[in-house]
């Protein structure tokens, strides 16, 4: 299944990321500190502009073990307790949800974050369907972790359950 996801991700490359700031040559980065509804810090997501998309690295800690849906959401707000203020998945190309959906994926769709028995997990993925500057449109964007695994095909959110951790992306 992972090789299929990789092929889909590679096949939907739509545009190179814009580079902001000029000079220096370093790729722009952004970070989102992940918190639970009660304010506990449970990790960080880092977004980096790449020539083939946006690389997202999610580093989770003190999370429930198992697979968790991980998505970039369209609004840069993480109001507890449900994080619904983050809106839906980042979807600038109006696709359907899921890397296994023939009409997808959303630009913010990602593989599941696999968390071990120690509460830690790392996910690294390149999102080809949007630009780095698009993360910082008028209302920003957020990184969301869900309670269960994403099935990679069911619209709108892969049946991934409630929102358990959220972080607003800010330029680093």
Q: Residue 25's pLDDT is what?
A: 54
All structural domains of the chain with their residue ranges = 2-12+32-171
Q: Residue 70's pLDDT is what?
A: 96
pLDDT tens-digit map of 126-166: 998 778 888 999 999 999 999 999 999 888 888 999 999 99
Angle at 153 between CA 152 and CA 154, to 5 degrees: 115
pLDDT tens-digit map of 45-54: 999 999 889 9
Residue whose C-alpha is closest to residue 142's, from 16, 50, 2, 34: 34
Q: What average pLDDT does the structure give for the chain? A: 84
Those residues with Cβ within 8 angstroms of residue 112's Cβ, 6 or more apart along the chain or in another chain:
67, 68, 69, 70, 123, 149, 150
* Architecture, CATH, for domain 2-12+32-171: Sandwich (2.60)
pLDDT tens-digit map of 3-36: 333 333 333 322 223 333 333 457 899 999 999 9
């Amino acid at each position: 299944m992972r090789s299929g996801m990789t092929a889909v991700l590679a096949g939907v490359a739509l545009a190179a990321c814009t580079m902001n700031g000029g000079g220096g040559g370093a790729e722009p980065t952004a970070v989102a500190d992940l918190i639970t509804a009660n304010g506990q810090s449970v990790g960080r997501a880092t977004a980096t502009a790449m020539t083939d998309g946006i690389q997202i690295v999610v580093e989770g800690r003190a999370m429930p073990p198992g697979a968790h849906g991980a998505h970039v959401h369209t609004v840069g707000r993480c109001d507890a307790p449900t994080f619904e203020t983050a809106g839906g998945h980042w979807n600038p190309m109006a696709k359907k949800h899921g890397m296994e959906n023939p009409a997808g994926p959303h630009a913010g769709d990602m593989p599941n974050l696999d968390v071990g028995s120690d509460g830690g997990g790392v996910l690294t993925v390149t999102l080809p369907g949007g630009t780095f500057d698009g993360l910082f449109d008028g209302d920003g964007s957020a990184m969301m972790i869900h309670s269960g695994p994403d099935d990679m095909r069911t619209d709108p959110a892969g049946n991934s359950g409630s929102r358990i951790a959220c972080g607003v992306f800010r330029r680093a």
